[in-house]
Chain A
């Protein structure tokens, strides 16, 4: 299991700025890494994924970077908007289509 504290890390950004959310993963055998967004009172929603044989993938306003050497994943959000305020989770896909989630990062967007 992972060691986590009682409080999630928080990233505060100004509206219009770019956001970078980081995540460390543990399983080198994972074939997919996925980012989810969770708004208050709702279930997690898929944002973007990246296959383990890639190092970068772009979506609409989002980019995911994968560094397998240091087992690090990041999510970049361009021109952050108030609607991007949420908790962001990285997840790694393991055997049996199970996802193992990180603890999450709170993104707060200041207007």
Chain B
């Protein structure tokens, strides 16, 4: 089915381990985003990408790395996970035209022990 998919949906890891969250969209949208959602903070932008091979930092980028070698994929890597990175992570995409409405994935719930 067309859309935006995230994997894994649930992940438990330990402090210091590397974790990669995957995001794949089938619309060929130019823009892709990673947000984290914590209670009381709404959604905060981690990184975004305007096109393949173009990425930029958002509001809370520390501790995260992204890449965008293909338009449809936008993986998010936690190089050395910390407990403060326990959160729900949402990937989103848009074609950037008009309102710039974002289409969100179902989220990846990450727990760092």
Contact = CB atoms under 8 A, between A and B. Distances in A.
* Real binding pair: yes
Interface of A: 1-2, 4-8, 32, 34, 41-46, 49, 51, 89, 93, 96-104
B58 interface: yes
B31 interface: yes
A98 B58 contact: yes
A45 B104 contact: yes
Interface residues of B, number: 28
A1 B104 CA distance: 22
7 contacts: A32-B99, A45-B104, A97-B31, A98-B48, A99-B45, A99-B100, A101-B35
The residue among B31, B56, B104 with the most chain A CB atoms within 10 A of its own CB is B104
A4 B99 contact: no
Contacts of A98: 33, 45, 48, 58
> Which 7 residue pairs spanning A and B have beta carbons closest together?
A43-B104, A97-B100, A101-B43, A101-B42, A49-B99, A103-B42, A6-B40
B104 to A, nearest CB: 3
Contacts of B107: 41-43
Contacts of A45: 104
Nearest to B90: A43
A44 B40 contact: no
A62 B58 CA distance: 31
Contacts of A49: 99, 101
Interface in B40-60: 40-45, 48, 50, 56, 58-59
Tell me which of B41, B90, B94 has the highest count of chain A C-beta atoms within 10 A of its own C-beta. B41
Contact of A96 (B41, B50, B92): B50
Nearest to A100: B45
B39 interface: yes
